[in-house]
A and B are shown apart, each in its own frame.
Chain A
Amino acid sequence: MNTIVLTVVLPLLAAFVVPVLSRVSPLLGRLLGPLTLAYAILLTLQVWLGMEGKPFSIALGGFQPPLGINFYVDRLSLLFTFLTLVTSLLLWPWRNETEPRQYALTLLLAASACGLVLSGDLFNIYVFYELISVASFGLAAATRSGAAFAASLRYLILSGLGSVLVLCGIAIVYLQTGTLNLAQLSQLAPETLNTPLGMSAFALILLGVGVKGELFPVNSWVPEVYAAASSRVSGLLAGLVSKLAVLVIVRLLVLLFQQESALQLMLILGLLGAISGELAAWRAKDMNRMLAFSSIGQLGVIFIAFSIPGKTGLFAGLALSLHHLLVKPALFLLAERWRGSLVGLRGAGLASPVAGGLFVLLALSLVGMPPLPGFWAKFLLFTGLAAQQSVIYQVALGVVLLSIVIEANYLFRVVMNLFQPAGDNSVAVTTDHGWLNLGTTFLLSALLIAGMLLMGPLGAWLEGVAMQAADPVLYFDTVFSVSAIH
């Protein structure tokens, strides 16, 4: 069971070793990263089969919580560990033969993402969050164009501000409670954090972590970075890193900040993000910017979903997150050869029908066309929102519907454009998408179809995951039963 810590440690070890190994043997240097990730995936599956659905906690260094740091392993954290490793393997920078540093940074990103998901200690989560940030700065700048440097610099400054805000929030929590262990905090929170100070701590953490989660006021780095970074990095940031940030917030909401105002704050920011992101995407003139803005909009919808109280919100939010994690990287991979202005893409779908077809499928699922999985995720969101009494949730329902209409409008405009016969004035479009990108996109689309066919069992299983994650008492009992045994 304690082998789960290897999913964090082995990629770190590989990252430290890979620059040296690449000097000795370039081939081994190229293979080390993917092999490590594949082995970590295997370990995750092993733990999954071994745990039989029951959460457990491991005390790192043998120091029992709350004095030491613990990893909390339930179905949710294991699911995201698995997804992190698989996504980093799929979006591995294969093409980059000469630069082992990029391998190292991708491995660091994967390791820290696993740590972030598993950790049961607030400050430890902050450390891994910082590691994700620093690794992603390097990856965003790796294309080494002027635009990439400018975009990364803006990203770095905003991220730095976010980190300071998170640290202030954590300091407030620590000052009020005297502990950083999430399980112990979940017990102390109803008395100590149910105050204006506790609320301000949540607001600071929400805004700080929200930088990576593309939350409304702190997302201005998104379009530039995604337009300038390589599409694999954009896919990682939009697909994976944003979800991890949301996951941190969700854990804190379940365990620490159960007051209604916390949910409402997140709901309002999510609403603003959804509407502003979709409107900006509607006006966008080039492919990557459009995808970036629409990602802001969809993350806004995910924040809305998680702000529905109780298990319903968690279930809907998880479904939307998984769907977005599958679809967005695939779209970014397709867009790699379709960079530049949307008008210039006239006829591109006719020129390469496979890529065009995949784009249509992904776009349809993103909008929420039944029976694709995107529809079921949005359906859960609607039923969850409609069941709430408060007016603000009814408003949210309207805003989400509006955002879907806008989204459908601009995505179909792009699709129409792709399949129109090329005019005389359009630039020559590439037909070659590269077998690697196309293959990865194909795999992701196949997963999407598989998800559609297995929607029944998948939904039931995901509901179980949400139910387990929504239970703070279970969290506390799991972490502290370990110390009782020892």
Chain B
Amino acid sequence: MRNLAALVFVGGLAFLLLVIFNQFDFAQAPMVVGQGILMDAPDRVGAANIVTAVVLGYRGIDTLGEISILFAASAAAGLVLGRRRTDARRDPPGGFILRSGVALLFPLMLVVGFYIILHGHLTPGGGFQGGVILAAAFFLPLLARPETPVNHAGLSIVEGGAGAVFILTGLAALLQGGEFLQPLLDNGVLGELVSAGTLPLLYLAVGLKVGAELAGLMARLADVEVDEP
């Protein structure tokens, strides 16, 4: 009976949403803000990747909110998962292929991750994407050798420090008489590595924070006690 009610509810909701989406005239949508930003961004922000200009410039406070959401999620998960018994059983170490594969992949992933973060204002990518790759790079050794201790203190320093750098950059602009998160420094030449003012710095902070948070989160999940068979 309960399943039937749930099915009716889901069916009804899907039908309603379909009816709503049927009403749209796609590709006809007004682009009030979109057009405005396309005209304004290259000169104002100096980032060759307009998406970055939106993410860190026009909607910088959204990005601050999003990294805070990730932080809240990792803090909440830490609170729930708690500490591990010292005598709990661990997963067995990975095989030869996994271990040598990890040794090969680790430096490559670090390079790719930092490349994507540092070129976030030039090419598609940026702090979030690069940060996830960094997190994966640090999680791989844990898969190969589950008994390696995770340095949670170090991760939390990186996490807190990167978040603080993001906010302090914003506050520096406020102290100089601007608004919070106003881009500082010279825009430079569009398309060069050192350009777009403080945007690359902000993306580096985002990347490190996302990387440290996801790595810590995955390490905690991997650390959950295995049920005794």
Task: Check if B181 sits within 8 Å of A112, measured CB to CB.
Answer: no
Whether B58 is near chain A, meaning CB under 8 Å from some CB there, is: yes
On chain A, the residues within 8 Å of B153 by CB distance are 23
Question: Once the chains are docked, how many angstroms separate the CA of A180 from the CA of B59?
Answer: 11
> Is A101 within 8 A of B60, CB to CB?
no
For the complex, give the distance between the alpha carbons of A212 and B36 in Å: 35
CB-defined contacts of A67 to chain B, threshold 8 Å:
33, 36-37, 40, 58
Stretch from B66-74, B87-95, B117-125 forming part of the interface with A: B66-74
A168 at the interface (CB under 8 A from B): yes
Write out, one digit per residue, whether chain A residues 270-297 have a CB within 8 A of any chain B CB (1) or not (0): 0000000000000000000000000000
The residues of A that contact B96 with a CB separation of less than 8 Å are: none
CB interface residues, B 18-73, toward A, < 8 Å: 20, 23-24, 29-34, 36-37, 40, 44, 57-62, 64-66, 68-69, 71-73
- For the side of the interface on B, what is the size category? 35 or more
Report yes or no: B30 in contact with A105, Cβ–Cβ below 8 A. Answer: no
- CB proximity to B under 8 Å, residues A186-205: 196-197, 200
Complex alpha-carbon distance, A141 and B72, angstroms: 13
CB-based contact A17/B164 at 8 Å: yes
> Which residues of chain A are near B192, meaning CB under 8 Å?
none
- Cβ–Cβ contact A61 & B58, under 8 A: yes
Query: Smallest CB–CB gap between B125 and chain A, Å?
Result: 21
Residues of the A chain whose Cβ atoms lie less than 8 Å from the Cβ of B160: 16-17, 19-20
Question: Does B4 count as interface, using CB distance less than 8 angstroms?
Answer: no
Chain A at the B interface: mostly helix, strand, loop or mixed?
helix
Beta-carbon nearest neighbor of A196 in chain B: B23
Task: Mark contacts of B5-16 with chain A using CB atoms, 8 A cut-off: 1 yes-contact digit, 0 otherwise.
Answer: 000000000001
Report the Cα distance A63→B181, complex, angstroms: 10
Q: Are A101 and B75 in contact (CB under 8 A)?
A: yes
CB-defined contacts of B156 to chain A, threshold 8 Å: 19-20, 23
Q: Are A61 and B179 in contact, with the CB atoms below 8 A?
A: yes
Q: Are A63 and B171 in contact (CB under 8 A)?
A: no
Which residue on chain B has the smallest CB distance to residue A58? B179
- Interface assignment of A413: CB less than 8 Å from any CB of chain B: no
Looking across the interface, which residue of chain A has its beta carbon closest to that of B73? A134
CB pair B68–A131 under 8 Å, yes or no, is yes
Among B17, B68, B78, contact of A15 (Cβ-Cβ < 8 Å): B68
Contact status B82-A178, CB under 8 Å: no
Chain B neighbourhood of A62, CB < 8 A:
173, 178-179, 182-183
B23 close to A178 (CB less than 8 A): no
A269: CB under 8 A from chain B?
no
Q: Does A160 contact B (CB under 8 A)?
A: no
Complex: A389 Cα to B142 Cα, angstroms: 69
User: CA separation between A347 and B17, bound complex, in Å?
Assistant: 54
A19 to B160, alpha carbons, bound, how many Å? 8
Please measure, in the bound complex, the distance between the C-alpha atom of A314 and the C-alpha atom of B31, giving whole angstroms: 33
B179 touches A108 (CB 8 A): no
Interface membership of B157, Cβ < 8 A: yes
Compute how far the CA of A141 lies from the CA of B57 in the bound complex, rounded to whole angstroms.
Answer: 36
Assuming the contacts A9-B167, A134-B72, asked whether A178 and B33 have C-beta atoms less than 8 A apart, the reply is yes
Enumerate chain B residues within 8 angstroms of A68, measured Cβ to Cβ: 57-59
Enumerate chain A residues within 8 angstroms of B183, measured Cβ to Cβ: 61-62
A1-42, CB under 8 A of B: which get 1 and which 0?
Answer: 010011001001101110110010000000000000000000
Within 8 A of B (CB), among A46-95: 58-63, 66-69
Min C-beta distance of B149 to chain A, whole Å: 16
Shortest Cβ distance from B67 into chain A, in angstroms? 9
**Known A-B contacts A5-B180, A134-B72; A197 and B65 likewise in contact (beta carbons under 8 Å):** no
A137 interface residue (CB < 8 Å to B): yes
In angstroms, Cα B156 to Cα A99, docked, is 14
The answer to whether the Cβ of A44 comes within 8 Å of any Cβ in the partner chain is: no
Tell me, in angstroms, the Cα distance from A184 to B32 when the chains sit together: 10
Tell me the chain A residues, 94-125 only, with Cβ under 8 Å from chain B: 99, 101-102, 104-105, 108, 111-112, 115, 123-124
User: CA–CA, A12 to B163, complex, Å?
Assistant: 9
Question: With A62-B178, A124-B62, A178-B31 in contact, do A112 and B75 touch (Cβ < 8 Å)?
Answer: no
Say yes or no: A130 contacts B79, CB within 8 Å: no
A103 CB to closest chain B CB (Å) equals 10
Given A5-B174, A5-B180, A69-B62, A111-B82 contact (CB < 8 Å)? no
* Contacting pair B72 A9 (CB below 8 A): no
Does B97 sit within 8 A of A, measured CB to CB? no
Contact for A69 among B58, B68, B164, CB less than 8 A:
B58
Report whether B79 and A15 are in contact in the complex, using a CB–CB cutoff of 8 Å: no
Tell me which residues across on chain B come within 8 A of A111, comparing CB atoms: 68
CA distance in complex: A149, B77 (Å): 12
Residue pair A144, B80 in contact (C-beta under 8 Å): yes
B57 touching A63, Cβ below 8 Å:
yes
Shortest C-beta distance, A23 to chain B (Å), equals 6
Q: A61-B60, A102-B79, A108-B72 are in contact. Are A128 and B167 (CB under 8 A)?
A: no
A60 to B61, CA, bound (A): 7
Among B60, B65, B76, the residue within 8 A (CB) of A137 is B76
Across-interface contacts of B174 in A (CB, < 8 A): 2, 5-6
Contacting residues of chain B (150-165) with chain A, CB-CB under 8 angstroms: 153, 156-157, 159-161, 163-164
Interface residues of A in 136-157 (CB under 8 A from B): 137-138, 141-142, 144, 149
Q: Which 4 A-B pairs have the closest CB atoms?
A: A138-B76, A178-B30, A16-B163, A178-B32
Supply 24 A–B pairs (Cβ within 8 Å), ascending by A. A2-B180, A5-B174, A13-B163, A16-B160, A20-B156, A60-B179, A61-B61, A99-B79, A104-B75, A108-B75, A124-B65, A131-B65, A135-B76, A138-B80, A141-B76, A144-B80, A168-B17, A175-B24, A176-B30, A177-B32, A178-B34, A179-B32, A197-B24, A200-B16
Q: A68-B59, A176-B30 are in contact. List 11 more A-B contacts (CB 8 A).
A: A2-B179, A58-B179, A60-B180, A61-B58, A62-B183, A108-B71, A108-B75, A134-B73, A176-B29, A178-B33, A200-B16
